[in-house]
Amino acid sequence: MDITMRAQNGVTIVALGGSLDSNTSPKAQQEMDGILAGGAKKVAVDCTTLDYISSAGLRVMLGAAKKLNGGAGLRLFGLNQSVREVFDISGFSKILAVFNSEADALRGF
């Protein structure tokens, strides 16, 4: 699991790479908690290099969404087909804001 962060126009962009599963979700949770504790109010998660997400990874995303204004402060983008299928099957694509590109995710954020 690779996690990098950058800021753009008041939005913290968190790039996730590799697999977000039961082995790597504690690290991702720790990083997200640190970002939120640092005062981030708007977070966009870049999933373009995320190869796999499990239910443990989905819990990390849901937890962050709940802490960010009930989900209004969290947007995800760049999901590949297999990651998108997990979001669709689990119903998470209906409760979290999912966009095709970074530009789409940041527009109006």
| Band (102; pLDDT cuts 50, 70, 90) | very high
Class for the domain spanning 2-99: alpha beta
pLDDT of 71 above 70: no
Average pLDDT on 23-51 reads 95
Q: What percent of the chain has pLDDT over 90?
A: 93
pLDDT of 108 above 90: no
pTM of the model: 0.93
| Mean pLDDT for the chain overall | 95
**Strand segments (E) across 1-109:** 2-8, 11-20, 43-53, 74-77, 97-99
